[in-house]
Amino acid sequence: MVKKQSKNKSLLGELWAFLKVRKAWWLTPIIVLLIIVGLLIIFGQSSALSPFIYALF
């Protein structure tokens, strides 16, 4: 049975639907790590948190 999908899905909604349909749960840790690294890069460049982030490495 095929469900109708709405046309206005967010990126996360489409990603969740892809993981659910394709049963690609092994991609979840990779995606989470990419998001964490991206956030570290963003906060490490221009925030008051950068000295603390640099201290981690």
The secondary structure of 1-57 as a DSSP string is -PPP--S---HHHHHHHHHHHHT-TTHHHHHHHHHHHHHHHHHHHSSTTHHHHHHH-
pLDDT tens digits, residue range 20-42?
A: 888 888 888 888 899 898 888 88
Q: Is residue 46 part of a domain?
A: yes
The pLDDT value given to residue 14? 87
Indicate the pTM of the whole model. 0.55
Identify whether 14 is part of a domain: no
Question: Please, are residues 17 and 5 in contact by the beta-carbon 8 Å criterion?
Answer: yes
Least confident of 8-12, 14-18, 26-30: 8-12
Is there a domain that residue 20 lies in?
no
Does some domain include residue 34?
Answer: yes
Residue 16 in any domain: the answer is: no
5 pLDDT tier (thresholds 50, 70, 90): low
Amino acid present at 53: I
Residue 35 lies in domain? 25-57
- From CA 54, how far away is CA 38, in angstroms rounded? 15
Report the number of distinct structural domains present in the chain: 1
With respect to residue 9, please indicate whether it lies within any of the assigned structural domains.
no
If one compares 49 and 5, the residue with the highest pLDDT of the two is 49
Q: Tell me, yes or no, whether 51 lies in a domain.
A: yes
